[in-house]
């Protein structure tokens, strides 16, 4: 019986597989086999034992592990016993010198490594989709807004370039944190490696080498959770960017703005009672699920504040935090890419909104030109401000008010005012900025 929406509504199969119980067991068994090989390398256990443990590890079944756990109420020891009973002669060497979290934290590192690979590829896909949109619309002039009010013009390309650059920074952060988050350990009961003797450091190094992980430099019974918190915070930060993008796209899809629109299927239903509705449900889903991912930051930070060399308060919460956060972040990234790639633009509405203010939004352009032609900047500001207030109150077009002001016409002709107030001519270096971002990011391979 499915209960959690991740089971039937959200998430990709590939990420769900990373965090499945079957995958967790396989990685625990890989860690046990790697430990045995490392111990055999230094002569701590017989090579025949390491070989047998490695060979039979694939024979351990989750059903059997669960049966044992039901009896002994210890998940890691259930794995140890299930593996030991598969060994013909060498079961006594399974888990030799190790503590539970040597295996559990190493298994977690393997899962995080696999998750990062998936998240990296999807983050690249989102970034590249944004880059393509930025390039496509670098000259699409549109209304800029501050405080929810129409301001001077900008371009859609600049918006998408800003977002693409932000996603690229998330990729940099992910690459930087990966070596910190993907470390394993073989340090024993409280981190001293006492059970491994003087070979402890070498055993850990060799075991992690077999697994393709880095070795923790120093730890207690567990790997310190600042590493994992950084990964969770990366996911929260990344989905917040996607939340921001989708908030903007939802706003731009409002009926009274209607500049862009999510893709809408031929048979898609927007409302059970209002047949005309074309709701931005994908963007809303991104925004909603991002809240869940962000909510996981505090509990993972608290998982670093354990008693002494460790307690068990991190264990139960992390069984929820890591699968849920990784699955939802992966889902959000995939959803966001589809939204961006399939986004529909309405040029006629973009142009309509540029003209909506009857030239009021072009006041800065006139002010700057007045200042350039000898009017003091502050005086020019007051001339344009008072003209804007008059235009607003009377409902007249801003240019009509401006050409009626002698203090304006003295410096700028009526014909020039029309040109100065053309939004297409007041986008500064927006195109050049977009081209720089697009060029830089298209050169990157990852």
For the annotated catalytic residues, the residue numbers are 147, 271
- The DSSP secondary-structure symbol of 195 reads G
- The Cα–Cα gap between 368 and 41 comes to 76
| Full DSSP string of 267-291 | T--S-SS-TT----HHHHHHHHHHH
| Full DSSP string of 353-387 | HHTTTTTGGGHHHHHHHHHHTTS-HHHHHHHHHHH
Beta-bridge partners for 153: 143
Distance of CA 171 to the CA centre of its chain: 9
- The DSSP secondary-structure symbol of 424 reads G
Provide the 10 A C-beta neighbour count for residue 407.
15
Q: Residues near 282 by Cβ (< 8 Å), separated by ≥ 6?
A: 246, 262, 335, 338, 339
**134, 123 in Cβ contact below 8 A?**
no
| Full DSSP string of 181-230 | HSEE----SSSS-GGGGGGHHHHHHHHHHHHT-EEPSS-SSS--THHHHH
Q: Residues near 373 by Cβ (< 8 Å), separated by ≥ 6?
A: 411, 412
- The Cα–Cα gap between 64 and 86 comes to 11
- The Cα–Cα gap between 171 and 180 comes to 15
- Using alpha carbons, list the distances in angstroms from residue 94 to 36, 44, 66, 86, 364: 7, 12, 18, 11, 75
Q: At what angle do helices 21-41 and 62-72 cross, to 10 degrees?
A: 90
Distance of CA 200 to the CA centre of its chain: 37
- The DSSP secondary-structure symbol of 263 reads -
- The Cα–Cα gap between 187 and 218 comes to 8
């Amino acid at each position: 019986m499915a209960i959690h929406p991740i089971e039937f509504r959200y998430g990709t199969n590939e990420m769900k597989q990373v965090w499945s119980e079957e995958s967790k067991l396989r990685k625990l068994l890989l860690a046990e086999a790697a430990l045995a090989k490392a111990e055999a390398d230094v002569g701590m256990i017989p090579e025949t034992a390491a070989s047998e443990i490695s060979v039979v590890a694939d024979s351990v079944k989750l059903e059997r592990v669960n049966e044992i756990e039901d009896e002994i109420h210890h998940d890691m020891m259930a794995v140890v016993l299930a593996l030991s009973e598969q060994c013909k002669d060498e079961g006594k060497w399974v888990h030799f010198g190790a503590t539970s979290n040597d295996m559990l934290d190493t298994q977690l590192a393997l899962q995080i490594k696999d998750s990062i690979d998936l998240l990296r590829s999807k983050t690249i896909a989102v970034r590249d989709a944004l880059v393509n949109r930025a390039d496509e619309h670098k000259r699409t002039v549109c209304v800029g807004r501050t405080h929810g009010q129409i301001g001077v013009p900008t371009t859609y390309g600049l918006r998408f370039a800003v977002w693409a650059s932000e996603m690229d920074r998330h990729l940099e952060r992910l690459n930087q944190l990966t070596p910190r988050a993907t470390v394993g350990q073989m340090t024993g009961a409280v981190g001293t490696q006492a059970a491994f003797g003087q070979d402890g450091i070498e055993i850990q190094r060799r075991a992690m080498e077999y697994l393709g992980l880095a070795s923790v430099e120093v730890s207690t019974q567990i790997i310190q959770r600042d590493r994992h918190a950084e990964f969770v915070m990366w996911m929260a930060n990344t989905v917040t960017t996607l939340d921001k993008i989708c908030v903007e796209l939802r706003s731009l899809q409002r009926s009274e703005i209607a500049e862009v629109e999510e893709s809408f299927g031929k048979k898609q239903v927007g409302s059970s009672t209002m047949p005309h509705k074309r709701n931005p449900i994908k963007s809303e889903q991104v925004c909603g699920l991002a809240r869940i991912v962000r909510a996981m930051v505090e509990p993972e930070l608290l998982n670093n504040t354990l008693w002494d060399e460790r307690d068990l308060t991190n264990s139960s919460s992390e069984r929820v935090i890591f699968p849920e956060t990784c699955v939802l972040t992966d889902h959000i990234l995939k959803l966001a890419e589809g939204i961006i790639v399939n986004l529909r633009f309405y040029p006629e509405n973009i142009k309509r909104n540029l003209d909506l203010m009857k030239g009021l939004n072009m006041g800065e352009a006139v002010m700057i030109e007045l200042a350039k032609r000898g009017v003091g900047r502050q005086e020019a500001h007051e001339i344009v401000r008072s003209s804007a207030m008059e235009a607003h109150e009377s409902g007249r077009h801003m240019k009509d008010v401006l050409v009626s002001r002698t203090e304006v016409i003295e410096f700028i002709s009526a014909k020039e005012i029309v040109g100065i107030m053309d939004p297409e001519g007041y986008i500064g270096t927006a195109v050049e900025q977009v081209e720089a971002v697009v060029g830089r990011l298209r050169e990157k391979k990852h």
